[in-house]
Amino acid sequence: MRSELKPRKPSPRLIKKLTDLANAILDAIDEDKNEDCTLLLLEFAASSGTSGYDRDYFKFLHAHSSVEELVQIASRGAPPDSPDLEGPEAIEIIGLILDDAWPETDYYLKLLENEFPHASITDLIFWPHKDMDRHGIYEEIQTREAIWQAGGDSAIDNYVRELCQSVLSNPDSPISRQYWAQSTLSSLEKKPAPPMSARPEAKTETDAPAESQPFGFHSSRMKPN
C-alpha cells in the first residue's frame, strides 16, 4: 500500500493534546455548565485533521464510546478524499479491516467509502449477504459500483433488495444475516426517491467505454457528497 494512504502514527504529545481537548469539550457541555465549546471543537478538528466530531457527538460520546477510544481513532487523521485505489490496495485494506486493525479500522473504512461511495462498505464487510473473503468482497464492491454507474441509486436499491429477499427465502440463512436483510428492506421502504442529481448522466457517443476507464474512475470522481 502506498505510504500516502496509510493512517498517521500519532505521537504521545498528540494523544495527550486530543485527550485534554476532548475532556475540556465534555466539561463545557456538561448540563450544569452548557458553555460554548465552538473554539474547542475547532481546535480538536484542526489538531486531529478530522471532521464530524461536533457538539452532539461529544454530548452522546459515553453512550457508545469513551474519550480514550475517540482519541485513538481521531489521532489517525482523515484519509484522502480521492485515494484512487488500485485493486491490490483495496483488497489489502479490506483484509486489514477483516483482521481487526483497530484503532485504524475507522480510517480504513472511510478510505474505502471515499473510493467506493455506492457499495455500502460497512454493511458489506460486517453484514455480508453471503460468506466472502477479501477477494469476494472486492468483487462485490466492483459489481455494486458498476450497477450504480449503469442505473444510479434506484438500480443499487433494487439490487440490494433482491439480495435481501434471497437471504430471507433461504431457511439456512444465519439469524444475523436475516436481521440485516429485514432491517435493510425496512430502510429501503422508507427511502425517498433519489433526486436527479443522484443519478448518473446518460452516456453519449463521445463517452469512453467502461473498459477503457482507469480503475477508481467510477468512485473517486463521481461520488456525491
Q: pLDDT digit string (tens) for 35-63?
A: 899 999 999 999 999 999 999 999 999 99
C-alpha cell at 45: 478538528
Distance between CA atoms of residues 83 and 89, nearest Å: 10
Mean pLDDT across 8-36: 93
Residue 193 pLDDT = 66
CA–chain centroid gap for 164, Å, is 21
Average pLDDT, the chain: 87
Residue 91 pLDDT = 97
* Burial class of residue 74 in the structure, from the number of CB atoms within 10 Å of its CB (0-12 exposed, 13-18 middle, 19+ buried): buried
Residue 210 pLDDT more than 50? no
* Burial class of residue 59 in the structure, from the number of CB atoms within 10 Å of its CB (0-12 exposed, 13-18 middle, 19+ buried): middle
Instruction: Return all residues near 206 (Cβ < 8 A) that are at least 6 apart.
Output: none
How far is the CA of 118 from the CAs of 56, 87, 130, 159, in angstroms? Answer: 27, 17, 19, 12
Residue 221 pLDDT = 32
CB-based contact 222:200 (threshold 8 Å): yes
Residue 173 pLDDT more than 60? yes
pLDDT band for position 215 (cuts 50, 70, 90) = very low
Stated as kind and residue range, the H or E segment containing 143 is helix 134-169
Stated as kind and residue range, the H or E segment containing 123 is helix 121-126
Residue 203 pLDDT = 46
Residue 224 pLDDT = 35
Residue 121 pLDDT = 97
Domain boundaries, the chain: 3-74, 87-194
Residue 217 pLDDT more than 50? no
In terms of Cα–Cα distance, which of 29, 125, 14 is closest to 72? 14
3-class secondary structure, 99: coil
Residue 197 pLDDT = 52
pLDDT band for position 205 (cuts 50, 70, 90) = very low
pLDDT band for position 34 (cuts 50, 70, 90) = confident
C-alpha cell at 27: 466539561
Q: Please write the tens of the pLDDT for every residue from 67-125.
A: 999 999 999 999 999 889 999 999 999 999 999 989 999 999 999 999 999 999 999 99
Residue 212 pLDDT more than 50? no
